[in-house]
């Protein structure tokens, strides 16, 4: 049986590392400094995660701020560990618009989970920002 905490951690990993680690406040700050569709995604994911998080807290009866802080650090820790277990993940850059596809992060807003390799994207996959095909992407060495 999956516990609410395990469900929450799986969800955090699904949403991707950056989103999972950003509090809604941090996400909003990021967006104000660097407005982009990506920043908007992070805010949305972060709000979603916070809602899931609160639901989980109710179920497992976390009440004190100490318990809350300890739970959050536990989650962050597990998400980090899960993402680190993926060596050899690469980044691919769109030659047309410079969109960067990071295999480690995937593209949660298009239902591509973290750690999906570029090769494993469907053949008809298109750049989310400019709609060109996979053949317009090059390996990013940076």
From 6, 130, 133, 138, residue interacting with Zn ion (rule: CB under 5 A): 130
Comparing CB distances to Zn ion, the nearer of 55 and 96 is: 96
Bridge partners of 126, per DSSP, are 133
Q: How far is the CB of 100 from Zn ion (least distance, A)?
A: 10
Secondary structure E strands in the chain: 91-94, 100-102, 137-139
Burial classification of residue 45, based on how many CB atoms lie within 10 Å of its CB (0-12 exposed, 13-18 middle, 19 or more buried): buried
Burial classification of residue 3, based on how many CB atoms lie within 10 Å of its CB (0-12 exposed, 13-18 middle, 19 or more buried): exposed
Rounded Cα distance between 33 and 17, Å, is 20
What b/e readout covers 108-118, taking b as 16+ CB neighbours within 10 angstroms? bbeebebbbeb
Binding residues for Zn ion restricted to 76-105, rule: CB under 5 A: 94, 96-97, 99
Q: How far is the CB of 97 from Zn ion (least distance, A)?
A: 3
Q: How far is the CB of 99 from Zn ion (least distance, A)?
A: 4
Residue 127 engages Zn ion in binding (rule: CB under 5 A): yes
Residue 138 engages Zn ion in binding (rule: CB under 5 A): no
Q: How far is the CB of 98 from Zn ion (least distance, A)?
A: 7
First CA to last CA distance, the chain: 43
Residue 137 engages Zn ion in binding (rule: CB under 5 A): no
Comparing CB distances to Zn ion, the nearer of 51 and 130 is: 130
Question: How many residues at the interface with Zn ion, by CB under 5 A?
Answer: 7
Comparing CB distances to Zn ion, the nearer of 73 and 98 is: 98
Q: Note the residues at the interface with Zn ion (CB under 5 A).
A: 94, 96-97, 99, 127, 129-130
């Amino acid at each position: 049986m999956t516990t609410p905490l395990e469900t929450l951690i799986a969800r955090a990993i699904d949403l991707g590392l950056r989103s999972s680690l950003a509090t809604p406040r941090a996400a909003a700050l990021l967006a104000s400094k660097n407005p982009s569709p990506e920043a908007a995604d992070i805010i949305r994911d972060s709000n979603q995660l916070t809602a899931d998080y609160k639901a989980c807290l109710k179920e497992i009866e976390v009440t004190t701020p100490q318990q809350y802080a300890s739970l959050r650090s536990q989650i962050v820790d597990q998400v980090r560990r899960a993402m680190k277990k993926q060596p050899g993940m690469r980044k691919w850059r769109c030659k047309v618009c410079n969109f960067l596809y990071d295999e480690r992060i995937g593209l949660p807003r298009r239902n591509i989970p973290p750690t999906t390799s570029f090769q494993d994207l469907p053949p008809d996959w298109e750049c989310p920002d400019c709609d060109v095909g996979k053949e317009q992407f090059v390996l990013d060495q940076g």
